[in-house]
Amino acid sequence: MKDEEWKIIDRVKRFLKVFHWNNMSARRKLNLCEKLANMFGVLYRYHAREMPRRLAILKDIFCKELAPPKPSEFARIKKDVLAVNLVLRHGEYKNYTVREALVYGAIVLEIMFWFFIGEAVGRRNLCGYIVPRTYISKATRRAIEKKSNQSTL
């Protein structure tokens, strides 16, 4: 190639670099909402792709773990309950290692939490029962009736 052709190629390259650089600097920055929208779009697409597989796994776990015991399992359950009863009566829990004690303690706590969470669900309130403001107990009604009967006599 001739020197002139190299010069032209050089000029074109420089022009393209300048043009590309100007395009890069001319782009506006994304604001916070646009960044969040891009981020949530990526997360949504990922979870939309993974959800069917995860739901199948979850359904499988629910069917196995939350199913009621089968009649064939009743003998094993009875044996386990009797074993726990013997351990508590004879004080064999004193011979447990720290790890075993922590595991059994965690199981007891889990069962207790089931009870408390079940109570909260049954009450439909976290702190106590919801009592209507117009509620009057039976004892209070009787006391009011006695006072009204005494005042009328």
Domain boundary assignment for the chain: 69-142
Rg of the chain over Cα atoms, rounded to whole angstroms, equals 37
Residue 51 has pLDDT above 80, yes or no: yes
What value does the mean pLDDT take over residues 125-150? 84
Distance CA 56, CA 62 (A): 10
Which range (70-79, 93-102, 111-120, 121-130) has the least confidence?
Answer: 121-130
Band of pLDDT at residue 79, cut at 50, 70 and 90: very high
CB contact set of 6 (below 8 Å; sequence gap of 6+): none
State residue 103's pLDDT score: 95
Residue 153 has pLDDT above 70, yes or no: no
State residue 94's pLDDT score: 92
State residue 128's pLDDT score: 73
Distance CA 75, CA 91 (A): 24
What value does the mean pLDDT take over residues 35-59? 89
Summary mean pLDDT of the chain: 83
The conformation of residue 138, written as its DSSP 8-state character, comes to H
Distance CA 10, CA 14 (A): 6
For the chain, helix, strand, coil in percent to 5 are 80, 0, 20
Q: What is the pLDDT of residues 12-31, one digit of tens each?
A: 776 666 555 555 555 678 88
Distance CA 38, CA 30 (A): 10
The conformation of residue 2, written as its DSSP 8-state character, comes to -
Between 4 and 77, name the one with better pLDDT: 77
Please work out, in degrees rounded to the nearest 5, the angle formed at the alpha carbon of residue 101 by the alpha carbons of 100 and 103. 65
The conformation of residue 93, written as its DSSP 8-state character, comes to G
